[in-house]
Structure 1
């Protein structure tokens, strides 16, 4: 039986291939960490929404030639992570 990590890596490869994105490196742990921050800082459904929007933004940046795949994804994830943490801090009721 495959581990969760192995299953996610296999799924990621299969999805990339189906979307004709072979050769793209995906930081699975980074994406999952961002999803965790969004889920715990905002609300649980924010996890897939946040990772989708970050990926979309990274794709647009890469497609426009502004940055490499890796730099675009890292920058988008950094912005999303910071925003989620800031959002959570701003939602804390005053004592």
Structure 2
């Protein structure tokens, strides 16, 4: 077991989360996309907000994929276009 697996198992025990319900790779991919596409501090915040939404039952199906897509497109979505001011 590597450090990431050990840490994930410990956190799951502490929070009462079934480790089988954790898609670690999806979360890591999401935070990578946000850190690179938006801003590094936005990555943990996004993961936290997603967790809140999941816990509240308000996260839509495909939320991780949608957020990753938004992060990858962030620069394009927020870039000024001619005539903006």
TM-score range relative to shorter protein: 0.7 to 0.9
Q: Flag structure 1 segments of 5+ consecutive residues without an equivalent.
A: 65-71
Q: Which runs of 4+ in 1 moved over 3 A?
A: 92-95
Partner of 1:53: 49
Q: Flag structure 2 segments of 5+ consecutive residues without an equivalent.
A: none
TM-score by length of 2: 0.76
- Give the CA RMSD over aligned residues: 2.5
Q: Is the 8 A contact 2:37 2:71 kept in 1?
A: yes
> How many residues end up aligned between the 2 structures?
82
TM-score by length of 1: 0.69
Comparing both chains, which one has the higher relative contact order based on Cα–Cα distances under 8 Å and sequence gaps of 6 or more?
A: 2
